[in-house]
Structure 1
Amino acid sequence: MAFGLERMMPILRCPWSGEALTRQSDELVSPSGHRYPIINGKPVLVRHIRGLHVTPPDPAHISRTIDEFSVDSSYAGPVLNLGSGNVPSSDPRVISLDILPAENVDLVAEAENLPFATGTFGLVCSGAVFEHVHNPLAAAAEVRRVLRDQGSFYIDTAFLQGYHGFPSHFFNMTAQAVETYLVGDFVLEHSVVPDSGSPTMAVSMLLRRYLDALGAAERYRLEQMTVAEALAAMDAGRVSADMTEHDRRSLAASLVVVGRKPNGYDGPREPVAEHIVRDYYAARALVIARHHECDFYRHKTSARDVPAYGQLYQALAAGAVMNPLSEDSFTRATEQLNAEERRLRRIRDRLVAGL
């Protein structure tokens, strides 16, 4: 938190109206009446404020992949670290922004609606962020807006990586997609594969995660094979595919999804707000993850009184959206899934305590 709120005030803007903001006690307020809380010195400049925006995250759930964020002295400030996680920066040019109010974050905001004046930054850096952004094209447009002429947009984003969502994981991108859609109307100065994202790293990460998802006996059997033997066994279907649904989805080569168009779709109606739909599918993904955790710890515990936690697809069916044209239907289904997530979390914690 090197920049500080008072220094940020001249460049902060309302994410709804784009108006300048003034401070009133523990809030920032726009002339049109939008109000945003300041929590632990961090303004929360989000259009639809939810619990994750104002609740400090578990350190285990937020990125801190480097000791400190810094950039070359040749870049004129201010510099935006977009999706900073909990990485600190002592550089007085740097503003650390994240969707979660981690300790080292300067402000909480969403990439699709950056709360800054147009033409503010000399550099925007985004590392391992765009795969988690709900609308990467809108986020890239916002980055282009807040950069000054001759400002630079530095992106490092996922391609061949498994699912690693918190709070969510939406898009992996090819190099062609990043070049075309994120910086297509900028001067392309640099486009390379970093050492941290090499083909060797991709294979290593996916293989290690694949082995972790296998049962202990199957993993041991596979690890004793040569590479050629292991590939032949996989190609012939002689490696068990007995994984949790969370692991299968996290490592899948492809997915099949079928959606059915509801009655009345083309008629006059108010669309369901994007954040309502997003919250529902985030809750659904979290139930899948919690069920996976229960399976994982059930196989590790020696306790005999392991509580029943039911079948995953029964839980997902109970939390299905019955009318996707209705906001109330999404809200009720989300509440059902959130209740199931809390139940599974209690069971997981009980299993962990029995280790």
Structure 2
Amino acid sequence: MQVIHLQETPTDETFDEEGYLLANPDVAAVVAARKLKSGWAHFKKFGRTEGRRQYVPVSRRQLAAQAIPAARADKMRRLAPLLSRPPLEQDAQGRAVYLTSELVRTYDLSGQDGVSENGYDDETERLIQSAGEGLVLDVGAGNRPIYYPNVVNYEVVDYATTDVLGVAEELPFRDNSFEGVISIAVLEHVKDPFRCARELARVLKPGGWLKCCVPFLQPLHGYPHHYFNMTHEGLRTLFEPYVAIERQEVTPPTHPVWAIAWQLREWANALPPKARKDFLRQRVGDLIAHPAALLQKPWAQELPMAKQFELAAATILIGRKRA
């Protein structure tokens, strides 16, 4: 199976400064602010351990970009019999477009200011390989660093690797179409996760596999919005009516340390300098004291309200029924 690599894991020998900064905009911002000398300095100190990726060098990137439309055209020919209705249009890059202005309004999809860009883990790659010549649907794929000829990248954003534009709650595919369905960090961003889960199961072939990951203790993050986090019981409830669930697990990329680090990092970065310095001096033992006492600390009181919504233990809504 011929795949097209847009990104790669750098080594000391293959490191490319431009490609590294392009793939890691947070690092690029730090370098631009002169808080770090270069992307290479970041890679040596942090990036290697963090598993950072880089875009392939310009010459190879141009070849990859040229190869994708032809690979997409072949994929779309194979996908055509599985479409439940014709697309509104096929854009200049060969993507099938089902995203109407009405759907954009209904599902509040305007204001896309983030880029979702992650690779697959080893298990997902093995599942894709197991599909052979059969097609796999990746709903909410984002901008994938590898373009697979048998994976249909379904999105609300026209990334370079997107194949079909539409919403997850209304998939334009026939029942029982795909060997496998992937949904990674997507269901928290849809307005109706129950409907979306039903659609994912509907287009899956009998005996086909499903891989779904949804955050539980992650802070607020939006592409373009963030509606629902889930417990493992909540995620199970979405799919139990349609799918025989084989296992649920927490893997290294979803370990609690990621949630703790994310919360503390975002908290620290949002504080004014003096409060941040005090916050970073806290020990774990200090932070697990009774919260009522901690609320009096400057690093608690000076946390901006927008950041409090992002990291809140809970949020409160008060309303009044319309007349």
Higher relative contact order (CA 8 A, sep 6+): 2
Contact persistence 2:118–2:145 (CA under 8 A): no
Give the corresponding residue for 1:114.
171
Give the corresponding residue for 1:40.
93
Shift of 1:245: 2.6
Shift of 1:118: 0.8
Unaligned runs of 5+ in 2: 1-67
Query: Which has the larger displacement, 85-94 or 111-120?
Result: 85-94
Residue 86 in structure 1 maps to residue 146 in structure 2: no
Q: Percent identity?
A: 28
Distance 2:120 2:240 in 1: 28
Shift of 1:85: 0.4
Give the corresponding residue for 2:219.
162
Residue 255 in structure 1 maps to residue 315 in structure 2: yes
1:9 equivalent among 80, 83, 91: 80
**Which string of whole-angstrom CA distances, capped at 9 and with x for unpartnered residues, describes residues 186-243 of structure 1?**
2111200111111122111111111122222111012123222344485412323223
Residue 238 in structure 1 maps to residue 296 in structure 2: yes
Contact persistence 1:12–1:116 (CA under 8 A): yes
Give the corresponding residue for 2:192.
135
> Which of 1 and 2 has greater Rg?
1
Letter matched to residue 118 of structure 1 = D
**Which string of whole-angstrom CA distances, capped at 9 and with x for unpartnered residues, describes residues 241-290 of structure 1?**
22333211111111111121111xxxxxxxxxxxxxxxxxxxxxxxxxxx
**Which string of whole-angstrom CA distances, capped at 9 and with x for unpartnered residues, describes residues 93-152 of structure 1?**
110011111111011111100011111001001111110011100000001110111011
**Which string of whole-angstrom CA distances, capped at 9 and with x for unpartnered residues, describes residues 276-328 of structure 1?**
xxxxxxxxxxxxxxxxxxxxxxxxxxxxxxxxxxxxxxxxxxxxxxxxxxxxx
Contact persistence 2:275–2:302 (CA under 8 A): no
Contact persistence 1:81–1:125 (CA under 8 A): yes
Shift of 1:65: 2.0
Give the corresponding residue for 2:41.
none
Give the corresponding residue for 1:66.
119
Contact persistence 1:62–1:86 (CA under 8 A): yes
1:176 equivalent among 210, 213, 233: 233
Contact persistence 1:122–1:152 (CA under 8 A): yes
Residue 209 in structure 1 maps to residue 209 in structure 2: no
Give the TM-score taking structure 1 as reference length.
0.62
Give the corresponding residue for 2:181.
124
Unaligned runs of 5+ in 1: 15-20, 22-27, 29-34, 264-355
Distance 1:143 1:64 in 2: 21
Give the corresponding residue for 1:145.
202
Distance 1:55 1:103 in 2: 19
SS in structure 1 opposite 2:157? coil
Contact persistence 1:159–1:173 (CA under 8 A): yes
Go from structure 1 to structure 2 and tell me whether the alpha carbon gap of 1:127 and 1:54 turns closer, same or farther (over 3 Å shift).
Answer: closer
RMSD over aligned CA atoms reads 2.7
Query: Which has the larger displacement, 63-72 or 172-181?
Result: 63-72
SS in structure 2 opposite 1:140? helix
Shift of 1:183: 3.4
